[in-house]
Amino acid sequence: MPKIIEFSGTVLTSPDSERHGMWAVDGKLTFRRPARDPDVVLDGWVLPGLTDAHCHIGLGAEGEVPDHIAEAQAVLDRDAGTLLVRDAGSPSDTRWLQRRSDMPRIIRSGRHIARTRRYLKHLALEVEPGDLAETVRKQARAGDGWIKLVGDWIDRDAGDLAPSFPAWAVKDAVLAAHEEGARVAAHCFAEDTLDDMLDAGVDSIEHGTGLLPRHIPRLVEQGVPLVPTLINVATFPDIASRADGKFPVYAAHMRSLWKRRNERVLEAFEAGVRILAGTDAGTVIAHGRIVDEVLALNAAGLPPAAALDSAAWAARSWLGAEGLAEGAGADVLVCAEDPRESLTTLRTLRNIVLRGEVLC
């Protein structure tokens, strides 16, 4: 006999749409009352499971992690309400986690792709420009429709951030990804990197700390979202302090990018750029911090409902994932208060339902 869960509170099918009466029957949502009484009744404000649009399950500071560590990372995310993850590059094969019904749904990227000696050790496939497009093709086939391209990093000879690849190589790489049916998530810290990435037609900008007024209309016109990863950008002053002695120009640049982080995110949002919540968990950022990122977006100036949308309805829609809809998978959170008005209620979720199973 199918298991039936009744959600008796206010169901938020979008940031500005409410309805009453929703059930999960054998793991699928329905707005039609079942013929028999529910096995479980959950009351409160109901929204779709949160999405972390930039997360690295299976990644640690030294690269690939053992399976038990990857599992623990996924559990931390799940228990914080993250029921959907867009992996943004990992050396670990996490397909075994995708098969676990008690774990968040994961949309996998291929491994990070970076320029030789221009990224953190052990994390990326490191290539030269002539090999970039072919490497992208291989990683496109290894993932679930996403590529992670490291667009810039410190150039130690120049002593500052610089684009990782020439513009022609980026264009060839993005074309290769699209021909393979994959989209490209581009890591961008510096200002000039954004121009090359937008010229090439990337599909999302990660971090985007170098965002300038000239970039914002292009993001809107091209429909490219920004994933600011503000809780990761908060580490920039520490990075700068460690670099002061050897790379003072780079250190000053990182501090400058950090200082204007909130201003640029708010400008982008007000211009109509889609903002998505991503924690960048996996190396210096701990897993399970999606609520911190939502609160950081709110602190940057996004209204509470918009900050929530960046990790809920908008994120799911953009990734092509199901929300609260007839026949959708029952990945649902229940809050004690309206989360559009009180974001902190996300810290003490009443219930987490994953694939129709009540986890708490």
Q: For tokens 């914080």, name the residue.
A: 80
Q: 194 is written with which tokens?
A: 């954004």
Backbone angles phi, psi at 347, to 5 degrees: -75, -20
Q: What angle do CA 87, 88, 89 make, to 5 degrees?
A: 100
**What is the structure's pLDDT at 110?**
87
What residue ranges of the chain are covered by domains with CATH 2.30.40.10? 4-47+322-358
Q: What CATH number does the domain located at 4-47+322-358 have?
A: 2.30.40.10
**What is the structure's pLDDT at 92?**
93
Q: Please give the chain's pLDDT, 360 residues, in tens.
A: 679 999 999 999 999 999 999 999 999 999 999 999 999 999 999 999 999 999 999 999 889 999 999 999 999 999 999 999 999 999 999 999 999 999 999 999 989 999 999 999 989 999 999 999 999 999 999 999 999 999 999 999 999 999 999 999 999 999 999 999 999 999 999 999 999 999 999 999 999 999 999 999 999 999 999 999 999 999 999 999 999 999 999 999 999 999 999 999 999 999 999 999 999 999 899 999 999 999 999 999 999 999 999 999 999 999 999 999 999 999 999 999 999 999 999 999 999 999 999 999
- Residue length, the chain? 360
**What is the structure's pLDDT at 102?**
97
**What is the structure's pLDDT at 1?**
63
Cα distance from N-terminal residue to C-terminal residue, the chain = 22
Cα 90 to chain centroid, rounded: 13
What number of H helices and E strands is found in the chain? Answer: 13, 21
**What is the structure's pLDDT at 223?**
98
Backbone angles phi, psi at 327, to 5 degrees: 85, -5
- C-alpha–C-alpha distance, residues 189 and 207, integer Å: 6
What residue ranges of the chain are covered by domains with CATH 3.20.20.140? 50-319
pTM of the model: 0.97
Using N-to-C axis directions, what is the helix angle for 236-243 and 248-259, rounded to 10°? 160
Q: 344 is written with which tokens?
A: 């902190």
- C-alpha–C-alpha distance, residues 275 and 314, integer Å: 9
Contact present, 56 and 281 (Cβ < 8 Å):
yes
From its phi and psi, is residue 11 left (phi > 0), alpha (psi between -120 and 50) or beta?
beta
For 199-239, the DSSP string reads: HHT-SEEEE-TT--TTTHHHHHHHT--EE--HHHHTTHHHH
Q: What CATH number does the domain located at 50-319 have?
A: 3.20.20.140
